[in-house]
Structure formats: C-alpha cells, structure tokens
Amino acid sequence: MVTPKQLAQTEYKYGFVTDIEEETAPRGLTEDTIRWISAKKQEPEFMLEWRLRAFRHFLTLVEKEQSPKWANVHYPPINFADGVYYAAPKKDQPASLEDVDKELLATYEKLGIPLEEQKRLAGVAVDAVFDSVSVATTFKETLSKQGIIFGSFNEAVQEHPDLVRKYLGSVVPYTDNFYAALNSAVFSDGSFCFIPKGVRCPLELSTYFRINAAEAGQFERTLIIAEEGSYVSYLEGCSAPMRDTNQLHAAVVELVAMENAEIKYSTIQNWYPGDENGVGGIYNFVTKRGKCAGDNSKISWTQVETGSAITWKYPSVLLQGDNSIGEFYSVALTRGYQQADTGTKMVHLGKNTRSKIISKGISAGHGQNTYRGLVKVMPRAADARNFTQCDSLLIGDQCGAHTTPYVEVQNSSAHLEHEAFTSRVSEEQLFYCQQRGMSSEDANSLIINGFCKEVFQQLPFEFAIEATRLLEVSLEGSVG
Amino acid sequence: MTQQAATIERRYVEAWNAAIAPSSSDVPAELHALRESAIAKFEEVGFPTARRGNEAWKYTDVAPIANAAFEDLAPAAPVRVATEALDQHIMGGSVWNRMVFVDGHWVPSLTSMPTLPPQVTVTSLAKAMALHPHLVRDLLGRYAPYDESGFTALNTAFLRDGAVLIVPHDTVVEEPIHFIYLTSSEGQSSVTQPRTLVSMGRNAKASVIESYGALTDTLSLTNAVSEYVLAEGAQLDACRLQQHSGSAYHVGSAQVRLGRDSRFTSGAFDFGGAIARHTLSVALEGEGSECTLYGLYMTNHGQHVDNQVLVDHIAPHTTSEQVYKGVLDGRSRGVFHGSITVQQAAQKTNAKQSDKNLLLSDEAEVDTKPALWIYADDVRCGHGAACGKLDDGALFYLQSRGIDEAAARRMLVHGFANEVLEHVELTPLRVHLEQLITASLRSSRRPS
Amino acid sequence: MLEIRNLSASVGGNRVLNGINLTVEQGEVHAIMGPNGSGKSTLSYVLAGHPQYVVESGEAILDGEDLLAMPAEERARAGVFLQFQHPVEVPGVRLDQFLRAGYNAIHKSKGLEELDPLQFDRLLQQKAGIVNMEPTMLKRSVNDGFSGGEKKRNEILQMAMLEPRLSILDEPDSGLDVDSLRLVADGINQLRSPERAVILITHYQRILNLVVPDVVNVLMGGRIVRTGGVELAEEIEAEGYEGQDEVLQAQG
C-alpha cells in the first residue's frame, strides 16, 4: 500500500523562525542557573527555595541514573549540564497588548492565533507563551469581572502568591519523576488559571506555546484550579521551528477540581516532529495530572498528538472524591521516525468513581506508537468502574503499534473492562467506499477520521476542525 | 548484584560444587559442560530480586523464594515413595502412559506405558542421551536460554535427570503421556529442578500433561523448565497442572517452538503453591502455525499466582489465541501478563488474548497486563481484560429459584471457569479439574 | 449497454467464473439465479472491481468502454453500482457524510454540480422516504449496528442517491422478512427507467414476483447455463436447480 517514497514528510507548516533578539540564561545547569532564573523573575523567597529543593532532588536522580527508561522510545542520552534553560524576548514585559513587539504579534498571526483586539478568536481567551515567557494574554479584563484569574504563571506568583504556594506541586510534586523534578527546578513561565466557586467560565481558555530559540528547552508549568461547583474548558496548542537538533520540552500541568467542579483540558500538540530522516524535532517529555479532590468532580483530558520527535506523556487523574469522574481521550499519530509512548493513569481512591479511556493510535512510515496506561483501584475505592478501549491503525509495514495496559485491582466490587484492537484499514471498507465513487485517498482519510471520531467529538468545535485538518495534512502521502 | 544477594546465590553455587561437580562422570560430557556453563551464568545473573525497573517481575516479589533457607538444595533420590500420596495425582487409570519423578529423580517403579506405540520414546534424560544422542544434544537447552533468567540457569545447572518424549514423524499417540513431578522432602525443605523435553516429528500427534505437586506439606521450591519442539504439521496438546501444597514455591517456564502448519494447544491450571510463577513462551516460527493457550488460576489464603504468557509471531499466516481466567479468594493475588509480539515478517497474523478475573473477597488483588507489540500491518490483533465480582443479579436469580447462596456462588464460579474447561478434551483431566475447583471453593470462607 | 464476453475469474487461486457471456440492454432487468457457490457474488465483485478477484480472461464492455480496466472508483463514476450482499461497517463515519463524499466524487467526475451539506441533506431526506428510512439513521455510522433489513434498505437508498446506469443487486432479498422485502422491492421498482439497467442476483424466485425481470439467466458452475423469461424462474422455483446444467448439455 505504501512505498517508502510516498512516506516523505509533508512540509511542516509552522517551521519558520521569528527573528527577534532574545535573552538567554548562561549555558549549564547549576544552583546558580536556578538562582539566575528566579532572580530574573523577581520571585518571592518561597519559590526559590522550592526550586532549589527540586533541583537537589533532580541531582540525586541524575546521580542514580534514574531518568525514565521504561518507555518504548529510543534516543541518545541528554547532557543536561549543557542545556540552555531560559530564553525570552529582550524587551521588557509589555504593559498592554499594544506594546507587544510587532514581530511577536506577526508570529502568532502566522500561527493562526491573532492576539490583536479586532482579530481575536471569538469565545477564546489566549495566553501566548514564547520560549520561556508569556508575552500576551487576551480577554483578561472580561474574565476578571467574574473573578477568574487567567494569565501567566509569573504574574500569578507576583499577584497571587498564596494560591501558588498552596497548589504548586500539590498534584505533581517535584519528587514525582525525573522530568517533573527538572521542570520544578527550572520552569520559566506558563499559564495560571483560577475559577472561583460556582463560576462557569464563559470563554474557552487557551494557551499557545511556541518554542523559537535554537538551543533553549521549554519548561513551562500550568496550574488550573477549579473551585467548588465551577467549570472551565482549557485548550493548549504548540509548535516550534524546524531545526536539525533535538530540543527538550519538559512541562508540568497540574489540575485541581474541587467538589462538583469540572475541568476539561484539550491539547493539540504539533511540535516539530523532525525531518523525513528523523533528524531534529522536539523531545516532548511532559507530566500532566489532575486531582479530582472533591466529591462529584470531573476531569477530562483530550489530546491530539501529531507532532514531536518523541512524545512521553501520560495525562492522569487521581480520583479522590467520591463519585468523581476521570476521562482520557487521545489520538496519537506517529509517522516519519516519530516515537510516541503515551497514555494515562486512572487511580481510583474514592467510592463510586468512574473512569473512561479512549485511545486511538495511528502509525505510518517508520513511526512507533505505544499506548501505556494504568488503571488502579485502591482498596477503599468501592464500586469503581473503568472502561478502556485502545485501538491502533497501521499504515505501511515499517511502523509499529503497541499496547501495554496495566490493570491493578485491590477492591472486589470494582468492575473493569479493557479492549484493544489493532489492524490496518480494511480492504473491504476501502472497496466499499471506492464502489461509492471515492478515490482511495479520500476513502482512507474518511475511514481514518471515522476511527478518530470519538476523540475529536470531545474537542470544542473549531479545534475539532483544526484537528481533522492537521491529521489530514500529516497523513498526506502516507496512504493511498 | 548487592553483597547480600551475592550471599544468597553463593549457597546454590556451593551446593552445586558439593553435589553436582563430583558427579560429572555420571552424565555425558556435553551435559556436564552445559551444567558448568549454567552455574557460572547463574552466579552472574542471580535471582531477579531487583524491585526497581524489573518489569518482568513487577508484580511478583521473588525475595521470599530467594531468601528462603532451603535445607537441601540438591536432594538425593528418595529411598521410599509413599504411593498412597501419589493417588491424588493419578489420572486416566490404566490407560494413560505415566512417568513419575520424585525430587527430580526418575522412579522407574511408578512408571507405566500401557498404550505407547513402540516407535515412540519416553524415557529419562540420561537414557535418551544414549538412545538419541544427536537429537537430545541438539534440543536440550537450545530453546530455554539460561543467559537471561536466573531460574532457568539454576535448573540447567542442577540438571541430573528429566523426562524426554520423542514422537517420530507421522506417528499418532492416542493416549496421553502424563509426567508427574513430586517433591517428597522427607522432612527437609528442598529445591528440585524438573526438566521436560518434547520433540514432535513431522505430522506427529500427542497429548502430554505435566503435573506438579508435593507429597508432604513442607517448604519447598520446584523450579521447572520445559522445552517443546514441533516440526512441520505436528500437533501437541500440552497441559500443566500445578497442585502444590500451601508451603511450596513453584517457578516454571516452558519454551515452545512451532514449525510450519503445526498446532499447539496448552492448558495451564494453577491451584496450589504459596507463590507460583509460570512463563509460557511460544514462538510461531513456521508459516501457518497455530496455538491456543488457555488457563485457569484459583487462589486463596495468601496465595500468589503469576502467569506470563508470551507469544511471538515470527512467520506469516500464524494464529494465536489466549484465554486465561482467574478466581481470586481470601487474601490472595493473581497476576497475568500476556504479550503478543507480531514481527515485521509476520503478515496476516491473527492474534487474540483475554484475561478475565473474578474477585471473591475484599482482600484479593489482581494485576493484569495484556500487551500487544505489533510491527506488521496486515494483522488482526486484539486483547481484552476484565475484572469484577460475581454478578449480583445472577446470584439473586439463582437464589430466587431456591438455591442457597453458597451453592449459587459455587454454580456461578463453575460457570465462569467453564469457558476454560470446555477447551479440555481429555475427560479424566476435565473431571479432575472440576473436582479441584469444587474443593477450592469448599475451602473458602463464605459468605464474606 | 453491458456486454460480457467469455469472462473467467478466480479468487484466492480458485477459478469461480468459467466463461460468462451476458448482454444487458438499457432499460432491462436481468435476473441471475443460481445455487450457492455458483459464482453469483463473484460476478458482481468482478464487475465492480474488487481487488481480490482476478480476471483470467474475457471482457466486459460498458457503453463501449473497457470496464475491467478501470479501478473500482472509476467504475462507480461510470455508473456501476454494486449493492453489497453483506454491506460493510465503517465505524465513526456518518452515513450522510459517507454518501455525500461518494455523491460529490461522482458528480465532480461528470462535471456536475457538487452539493453542500444543506442541499445534500434536503435531497437525502427526500430519497430516504423511498425506503422508509428514519432520518436519525442517516446520522449514524455507516452500517454500524444496523439490522440486516436496515443494511439492505440503506443499500437501496444509496442506489437512489447515486442514480447509477447499471445496478448490480447482490441478493437484495436475503434474510429479509416479508415487509422489508416489499420495501426493498418497491425501492428497486421506483428506480427502474428506460435509461437504466439492473442485474438482480438472487437464489430464490420470491423477489422476482415483486420485481419482474425481463430476462432470467441461470448461473451454475461459473457459467450461464440457461436464459429465458419469467417462466424460467417459476420452473426453478418448482423443480430446483438440479438438472439445469443437464438441460444445457441436452440443448448442445
């Protein structure tokens, strides 16, 4: 069905570089680097201390060589001492959108995220993160009228230190894993979001992450807190220039949902995947976790992963409150030489908790796609329920699709079901579509979209269209 | 290896030096060379006691086995075997062919081959090496690699005897061949190393059963290794029945190679043991080969049973199916890891896998890990896993028809197990298994 | 319109068609009857271009064009419609979207106007009435979870939408109860016209009481062994297929 030539990568649309002067941290990773970053951000003392604790823990992990090795991904060892951990446009923090550098505005416009007042996407508030800093946030005032705090992490540290102090690391402690420790030490910015009690956030909140600098990694941190009875839908998008060296993106996302609150978190990940020979691309090593802290709370992750050379990511939910619900919907595409090891963890702690996992993996070219998931029912989680379905589609005979779920049950009243199926697009389906007049390329794209439908349905409308288009562009030349 | 771990392994090496090294002239030179190389490997690899990053032993901590102070690491042949204790392992009356090993030593007096075709060889390893030197030399240890697994290395190092079945081409063995491996212990806690080698010639057909058990309820470790090789068109039905006492540890592995168009069926039944861990590894090397692997594990009273089922599709047009079921009661734990690998050349593979568990008590735990590793595109592969308790609705339905709760529960558990039992074609084995299920349910404390 | 000459074909290495000769004129309804395994479905797949069916020899000419040289989608665009005996499930793909993709592809190839979702929806609703199909079914995944009768009606709906020149109906009656059979037959009859032709493949005569054919062909052993009028179908209903191939031999 596919020849190696056909697998030639379609051009990565977001691969341009913004020509802007940036300030970077001195190369290397020592306590001084941490102090330099914290000072740069004029952080309060508690932040520096927290970073330093994380850093010291990180060093013990490096010493014990405890970077994660269990994932089904392969890459040369990373020299952490040689990285650049901070890069930001040189100009001072703009006071308002009007003061934002024209080059930056043009960059985001080119990415399809206009920040200027008259061009903004209706119904979506955007926080734009460029390398290590947030450069603009739209609709801030509209949101603040309802008591919603939405903006950069740095601002939150300055303006709402108590909230940051209370929740930072409460879901993903710096001791959680190797990359969480690294992120906690060096994270530069990110988004912060707080929805007060009883408020239903009227806009989709969105962060767009852009890596621009050539050598710097991006280490952002997102923290979302939904107080009792509140609701928020949050989206993130990301892209990076085409470069022939690998860049590290190690983010941490923490979500906290209190009683009766709901957080819906959607990601369209389109980091640069590397070229057709597997050179370059982003290493996307991300820790995402939500805590259903209150009864009847709900956290739902939706991700469409089409980019990055390597993806290592398991958006998870701790189901602590009784009757709480965790969901994970994922489409992961690997083509070229991309590798993805992604999935979720659902940890059932409270009574009558529910979780649902729908994962769709598509492998083409030389792509290797692994679903890795854990469903754990703790002894006290009476009447827990889980349903998991993870399907894989193979396009071409050089790729791989792997499924490794872990199911751990310590309560007899639990009810769990896991199903997985792997195949290629069936010849019968293709023939049926062609008999109705469609070309084989259209038929493939129709069938693949159908395969992903359950996940795309979870996305807000505009993003579902974007995801469908992205998938089509990514698969161009891979099928037919 | 840590200092402490090294001390543990050292004991086995010393026992080897004392019991095996001096007997080098009792066995063919090649066999002893194999044992020497295996003990060296064991010393290097050791027991898989590491807890961090030890994926293969993630849910089974091997420390209790490794640290157990067994008194006799290389037991001598038993002086006397209490035949009455053997009865619970006998099946198939005077029709089945039977070979009995006690403490790793063949007991010819308990062996009978009433229905064996003359061209078929069933004998002890030592004799087989004399009769078919090339075949045995070629096959022994070839498919059970001892360079990665400390347990396989240990078995190979302490190899003194074992069972060998050689079925020549185009030969059908109508009645089963039953290998019974027992630990007698004679008052001492001990380690035995059973070994089975089965070679099926072209278009040959046979059924074998491996039974494992103990004659006394003494601390023991049975560390078994089996190798099955099926040539083109061969058919083998191989069951493994583990009914150890509650003080026994059991570790076993079976390596299966399937030639072109061969068919392998396997049933794995675990009822006993304090910790029982078994690895079944099937390589579908020949085009058109097929395997059906089913299993039932019933645990209670602090038991821990771990089944690792690894299926490797190497050739095109191969088919595999795994159906495992667990019934977990008391403070027991069931572990299942099923893996299907489809290699790049194995196009047109059909592979299915399922593990279902019934939890009968609040203290029971189940850990299941069904995995697919697929490198070919023209395949149909699927797996499923499920965990749950007895269906309240069904229980109520039975009770409303006048059946008391305990009986209703037993009926439902039998029903659950039946999906596995219906694969068992040998009636005496099926009857035996049904009795074991009933006995296992009787011993559980009810209602919770 | 369609001229099949000496067509032989195989599937999976087995020869199934052994020299079929058949001429179908505009406006005609040809019934092809035959016992199980006679090659009926193979003939339909070969004409529609299923990749697993290999043409060994012979030809099929549609309106002067070599049908067998075209890929499946071009045959569809040239007006060949296959009603599948076992319609395929396409999970996640909505029936209306599926049909619009096919409809627009065919219209585009003919230089006709493509329809936007709204226009298409109006047309689809109207045609759905022909086979009495609930509007909600149009929003479900193609054949996914459809009953046997729903699948068959869905096939006729697709035929109504795509307005093919040559419809090949592969056992539209199999597995249907009397009411569903009547719905399907009504649908077929409504689509009969002097410009179009139909090849109706069936095992039984009962649908031929509802869709009266112009010509009845008997297919056995991969060949057309007898050709006649409606009375031939009645004869087979009464006497079965046994001996039909001998009739041919007797006829020389």
Q: Does the beta-carbon distance from B380 to A397 stay under 8 Å?
A: no
Q: Do chains B and C touch (3 or more CB pairs under 8 A)?
A: no
pLDDT at B445 over 60: no
Residue A118: pLDDT band (50, 70, 90) is low
- Indicate whether B232 pLDDT > 90: yes
Two structure tokens written together for B317: 């047009």
pLDDT in tens, B295-309: 999 999 899 999 999
What does the pLDDT average to over A24-38?
Answer: 88
Interface of C to A at Cβ within 8 Å reads 48-52, 71-73, 75-77, 81-82, 84, 87-93, 97-99, 101-103, 105-106, 109, 141, 158, 162
Q: What average pLDDT does the segment B340-366 reach?
A: 93
Residue A6 is predicted with a pLDDT of 35
- Chain B residues whose beta carbon lies within 8 Å of the beta carbon of residue A424: 377-379
Locate B339 and state its tokens.
Answer: 């893996």
Minimal CA separation from C189 to chain A, in Å? 21
Residue A174 CB partners (closer than 8 Å, separation 6+):
A50, A53, A54, A57, A58, A180, A181, A184, A185
Going by pLDDT thresholds of 50, 70 and 90, the confidence category of residue A7 is very low
- Considering only the beta carbons, identify the residue of C87, C89, C106 that sits closest to A437: C106
Q: DSSP label at A327?
A: E
Instruction: Decide if C90 and A447 are in contact by the 8 Å CB cutoff.
Output: yes
Structure confidence at residue B157 as a pLDDT band (50, 70, 90): very high
**Banded model confidence at residue B221, pLDDT cuts 50, 70, 90:** very high
Determine the distance in angstroms separating the CA of B376 from the nearest CA of chain A, rounded to an integer.
5
Q: What is the pLDDT of residues B96-124, one digit of tens each?
A: 999 999 988 899 888 899 899 999 999 99
| Cβ <8 Å between A400 and B373 | yes
Average pLDDT of the segment spanning A67-93: 81
Q: Does residue B12 contact residue B156 with C-beta atoms inside 8 Å?
A: no
Residue A316, pLDDT score: 97
- Alpha-carbon distance A189 to nearest alpha carbon in chain B (angstroms): 33
Which residue from A73, A327, A38 is spatially nearest to A184, judged by alpha carbons? A38
- Average pLDDT rounded to a whole number, residues B25-33: 83
Which of B306, B372, B383 to mutate against chain A (most A CBs within 10 Å)?
A: B372
pLDDT on residue B52: 82
Select the highest-mean-pLDDT range: A5-9, A90-94, B381-385. B381-385
Helix (H, G, I), strand (E, B) or coil at B26: helix
The residue to which tokens 């767009």 are assigned: A208
pLDDT for B2 equals 47
Does residue A119 have a pLDDT over 70? no
pLDDT at B127: 84
Q: 3-class SS at B348?
A: coil
Segments in B20-164 forming alpha helices (H): 29-45, 63-67, 83-86, 125-131, 133-139, 150-157
Please give the pLDDT value at position A120: 64
- Over residues B129-158, the mean pLDDT reads 86
Which of chain C's residues have a Cβ under 8 Å away from the Cβ of A446?
A: 90, 93, 97-98, 101
Q: C103–A437: do the CB atoms touch at under 8 Å?
A: yes
The mean per-residue pLDDT over the stretch A52-77 comes to: 88
pLDDT at C214: 92
Distance between A218 CA and the closest CA of chain B, angstroms: 28
Nearest chain B residue to A363, by CA: B377
Report if residue B406 sits inside a domain.
no
Average pLDDT score over chain B: 90
Facing A412 at nearest CB: one of B359, B375, B382:
B359
Q: How far apart are the first and last CA of chain A?
A: 7
Question: How many other C-beta atoms are found inside a 10 Å radius of the C-beta of residue B298?
Answer: 29
State whether residue A1 sits within 8 Å of chain C by CB. Answer: no
Residue B447 pLDDT > 60: no
Question: Is residue B3 pLDDT above 90, yes or no?
Answer: no
pLDDT of res. A93: 56
ipTM of the complex: 0.86
Q: Could you give the percent of chain A with pLDDT greater than 70?
A: 93
Task: Count other C-beta atoms under 10 Å from residue A297's C-beta.
Answer: 31
- A67 chain-B contacts, CB cut-off 8 A: none
Q: Any idea where the domains of chain A sit in the sequence? A: 4-428
Mean pLDDT of chain A: 87
Burial A336-372 (b: 16+ CB within 10 A, else e): bbbbbbbbbbbbbbbbbbbbbbbbbbbbbbbbbbbbb
Question: Quick one: pLDDT at residue C176?
Answer: 83
Total domains present in chain B: 1
On whether any CB of chain A is under 8 Å from the CB of B390, the answer is no
B375 Cα to chain A: minimum distance (Å): 4
* Helix (H) or strand (E) run with residue A144 in it: helix A140-144
Taking contacts as CB-CB distances below 8 angstroms, the residues of chain C near A452 are: 92
> Interior CA angle at A20 toward A16 and A25, to 5°?
105
User: Under a CB-based contact definition with an 8 Å cutoff, are residues C155 and C83 in contact?
Assistant: yes
What residues make up the domain containing B18? 3-286
Per the domain annotation, does B28 fall within a domain?
yes
- Under the banding of pLDDT at 50, 70 and 90, the label for residue A8 is very low
Q: Is B in contact with A (3 or more beta carbon pairs below 8 Å)?
A: yes
At A10 the pLDDT is 53
Q: Which residues of C touch A434 (CB under 8 A)?
A: 49, 71-73, 76
A403 near B CB under 8 A: yes
Q: Rounded to whole angstroms, what are the CA distances from A21 to A105, A106, A249? A: 15, 15, 21
- At residue A26, the pLDDT reads 82
Q: Please state which CATH number belongs to domain C2-251.
A: 3.40.50.300
User: Is residue B212, in this structure, part of any structural domain at all?
Assistant: yes
Contact B180, B215 (CB under 8 A): no
C197-202 vs C223-228, strand pairing mode: unpaired
Question: What's the pLDDT score for residue A1?
Answer: 30
Residues 155-194 of B with CB under 8 A from A: none
What is the structure's pLDDT at B307?
97
Interface list for A 401-440 with C (CB within 8 A) = 426-429, 431-440
Q: pLDDT (tens digit, 9 = 90+) per residue, A407-460?
A: 999 999 999 999 999 998 888 899 999 999 999 888 988 999 999 999 999 988
Per-residue pLDDT reduced to its tens digit, A315-351: 999 999 999 999 999 999 999 999 999 999 999 999 9
- Subunits next to C (3 or more Cβ pairs <8 Å) are A
Q: Which residues of chain C have pLDDT under 50?
A: 251-252
Percent residues over pLDDT 90 in chain A: 52
Predicted pLDDT at A98: 67
